[in-house]
């Protein structure tokens, strides 16, 4: 695991490296403090460090309720029907 002291968008960083998976640790403020390679990621720690050094995190958009429901195949109307509204 490599320590980081800058804002990291983990999904974006994974894409920038090789899209083979990363792992991380968070602090009490839910900020990433360490990043490592997932078990089957063939990248080296040097390659990961280079990717971290070059990384400029893009903001992660907040997911709406509609987005969250859609991720499990539901709509607002489905939820209203289930609640009897």
SS3 for 15-42, per residue?
HHHCCCCEEEEECCCCCEEEEEECCCCC
Q: Decide: pTM greater than 0.75.
A: no
pLDDT at 27: 95
pLDDT at 63: 83
Pairing of β 32-37 and β 22-26? antiparallel
What's the mean per-residue pLDDT of the chain? 93
Euclidean distance between CA atoms 28 and 30, whole angstroms: 5
pLDDT digits (tens, 9 = 90+) for 17-43: 999 999 999 999 999 999 999 999 999
Of all helices (H) and strands (E), which one includes residue 3? strand 2-3
pLDDT at 38: 96
Euclidean distance between CA atoms 82 and 70, whole angstroms: 15
């Amino acid at each position: 695991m490599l320590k980081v002291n800058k804002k990291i968008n983990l999904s974006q960083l994974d894409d920038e490296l090789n899209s083979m998976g990363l792992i991380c640790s968070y602090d009490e403020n839910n900020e990433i403090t360490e990043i490592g390679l997932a078990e089957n990621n063939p990248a080296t720690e040097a390659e990961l460090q280079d990717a971290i050094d070059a990384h400029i995190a893009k903001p992660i958009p907040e997911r709406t309720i509609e987005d969250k429901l859609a991720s499990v195949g539901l709509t607002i109307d489905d939820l209203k029907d289930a609640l009897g509204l």
